[in-house]
Structure 1
């Protein structure tokens, strides 16, 4: 079969597809007879391999070299024959969603590893090396070994996921646009808010719509917008204020106070499993101190990082340029708690965090979708991060969605 499998809506420019060529190459390079992945709908590797969205119990994906499995019809040596081993209750859904060659339905309730071994035998593969992702359930690996196969781990699936097809980029773009609408709602609320210096026993607070504005109230407003645009927050709407803005993944409740940074990191998931990821930082009635200096430094670091992005550039170069810019502005880049404490970005796809990492040495490739998100943090002052999602191209990059920058929130409607 050809190297690329088209989804159920084959022929549509919007159809999800999966590039089998990296899997076929790995099988050939490792002299392996097949590749097996086992997991449920929460396993991102098997979700990507199968495009199958259920069930919440283990099922299996089996790939064998197409040239070995079907020599009469194979047009080349770069494809795989792909089989989905699905529970009987999900037969119709599996046949509707799986873009591969065969669906093997189990009526006996056998473990997924047993079904995978049977699928290999169905293809005439009775022995040899079978490649599995490193996270395969232990019992599935044992069942394959008991069936006479030698099991060896591979990261080929994770590597293949790093390069997105046009249809995948389209899914990511849609979710990113919804995430940006969530940011817009938050900025509008902060722009409408007023300062109450006497609230909370004189500590001061930001008020909106008749009450004190907290990170949780703001989060609910953002999540309502996400839901209205067909994506779910997936527990990833991170909003911190003041000291909690220095917490990279704060999802608790904190009062928003005047002058403090309010960091909003919105990372929803779309119906096909793909994520968006965007961050903006605001401050209601800032005094022009630390928060202003940090914001200007992060803006400069973002621009420095983007200037380096292109296919063939080592990912670490992007990070190093952002770090150098922040250091030039007087912020630490070598501390786990204060200053620039994380990589400049990471891959985004069916997982919110996947390869490539901008802290690594691998070269960027056209089709990589990564975040650019420099930030600086100080638990005594707050946190500032600015994040966008881009797709790497041969000579640069494209934004998957854009939103303006401003430390002071504005009503943009």
Structure 2
């Protein structure tokens, strides 16, 4: 155990998992089933659909991927040709793959249409439909129409992203393990803090949410995982703010909520929440913690393939209601869904409030919480993979009300 890390943090394997290979078979099948000319996605490295489809990690200007039942073409900027070939050509399907860097002066949508023209080789007018993600840029859709194609939205990408392969699970396990190390650092800082009037002091200075956030982010960086700029830490009233990333003093006896969700080297997110109280007097915060912990356990018990996703939320809500907390309010009590999918986006399908069944390979959060804007907030969250018989925690971290010191 490294200095300054609370007990229970998992060990991080120094070896990175291999990047998941691209698998465009589901996209090619959707094109063939629809009888479309092809599929086109346009975006940059910030577009999660394109990152998933191509595994291409740059640049910040637009590029495109074009797929037909037999071919896949990535139109990359010239200076990124080698990277694109390295990350895209090693696919896990039977498609013929190619990286193209021609027509650099043209917009990405035009380049995609040119690639489609060549791949379809003069298909007749009945075959001019092009499947696209709903998020395709407006200008790219206009360029496709200008080239004689008719864009049609498809859910094929979102559907494929829901079920994680073993290579994707390996990426998620590692980033969640590093996320747990960040949580262990935060817990150790809180445990080492000393009361000073209405505040806590750590290493001679007042302890703030920003100081804890920096400690968390530095610990994750030691293991090669960068914060995505969204490390949520709230104390007291700001712990009731679901996405608080500001600066607040931390005091004895109030809830400190930490929601850590960094992005790993291959684009996959971790997501872990714990709530601690230093020098609790056993009031609202203790009652809320017991309720949330019970709801967390009850929700986990419902997770397995075949279970309707919404029943997991309902189980958590029923348990919180049994403890006397509201579940029908937008501000006080249980005010959000019990979980969501995680992958190359921090929030993706499936939602645990939907009527769809869970499937093996889904990766979801289980995160019940209760909040009172006048007092604080409590949330406990784990990231799990759905299996046929239940679930797998992608990394384990202790659930503790009182923070523990580093050994």
Asked if Structure 1 and Structure 2 have the same fold, meaning a TM-score greater than 0.5 normalized by the shorter chain, the answer is yes
In 2, Cα distance between the equivalents of 1:15 and 1:33? 30
Match of 1:294 in 2: 288
Deviates more, 1:95-104 or 1:57-66: 95-104
Give the equivalent residue in structure 2 for 1:148: 148
Cα distance in 1, alignment partners of residues 389 and 33 from structure 2: 30
Answering whether residue 35 of structure 2 is matched by residue 45 of structure 1, we say: no
Cα distance, 1:352–1:125 mapped onto 2, change above 3 Å:
farther
The whole-number CA distance in structure 2 between the counterparts of 1:333 and 1:57 is 44
Q: What is the match of residue 369 of structure 1?
A: 363
Aligned to 1:115: 111
1:163-202 CA distance string (max 9 Å, x none): 11101110011110111001000111111111112xxxxx
Any idea what the Cα deviations from partners look like across 1:240-262, whole Å, max 9, x if unmatched? Answer: 00000000000000000110000
Contact 1:87/1:105 (CA < 8 Å) preserved in 2? yes
Counterpart of 1:21?
25
Q: Residues 299-334 of structure 1, C-alpha deviation per residue, up to 9 Å, x if partnerless? A: 100111011111111110100000000000000001
Quote how far apart the aligned CAs of 1:362 are: 1.2
1:159 shift after superposition: 1.5
Runs (5+) with no aligned partner, structure 2: 1-15, 92-96
Match of residue 258 from structure 1: 252
Distance 2:232 2:102 in 1: 41
**Counterparts in 2 of 1:327-342, with a 5 A limit?**
327-342=321-336
Unaligned runs of 5+ in 1: 1-11, 67-80, 198-203
Identify which range, 258-267 or 360-369, moves more after superposition. Answer: 360-369
Distance in 1 of aligned mates of 2:207 and 2:303: 38
1:384 aligns with 2:388: no
Residue in 1 that maps onto 2:226: 232
Contact 1:17 1:165 in 2 (8 A): no
CA shift, 1:88, in A, is: 1.2
Q: Does 1:83 align with 2:77?
A: no
CA RMSD for the aligned pairs?
Answer: 1.4
Separation in 1 of the partners of 2:142 and 2:294?
52
CA distance in 2, matches of 1:259, 1:21: 54
Q: Which one of the candidate residues 104, 120, 125 is aligned to 2:100?
A: 104
Please give the residue correspondences for 1:178-193 in structure 2 after superposition, counting only pairs within 5 Å. Answer: 178-193=178-193
Does the 8 Å CA contact 2:17/2:170 hold for their aligned counterparts? no
Name the structure 1 match of 2:266. 272
Q: 1:147 to 1:235 in 2, by over 3 A?
A: same
The higher relative CO (CA closer than 8 Å, separation ≥ 6) is in 2
CA contact (8 A) 1:33 1:125 kept: no
Please list the CA deviations of residues 227-285 of structure 1 after superposition, one character each: whole Å capped at 9, or x if unmatched. Answer: 11101111111000000000000000000011000000000011111110000000000
1:355 partner SS: strand
Q: Could you tell me how far apart the structure 1 residues matched to 2:317 and 2:34 are? A: 39
- Are 1:128 and 1:149, in contact at CA under 8 Å, matched by a contact in 2? yes
Deviation at 1:83, TM superposition (A): 1.0
Question: C-alpha displacement at 1:13, in angstroms?
Answer: 8.4
> Which of 335, 346, 350 is matched with 1:352 structurally?
346
Q: How far 1:29 moved relative to its partner?
A: 3.2
Number of corresponding residues: 382
1:7 corresponding residue in structure 2: none
Q: State the 1:125 CA deviation.
A: 4.6
2:76 is paired with a residue of what secondary structure? strand
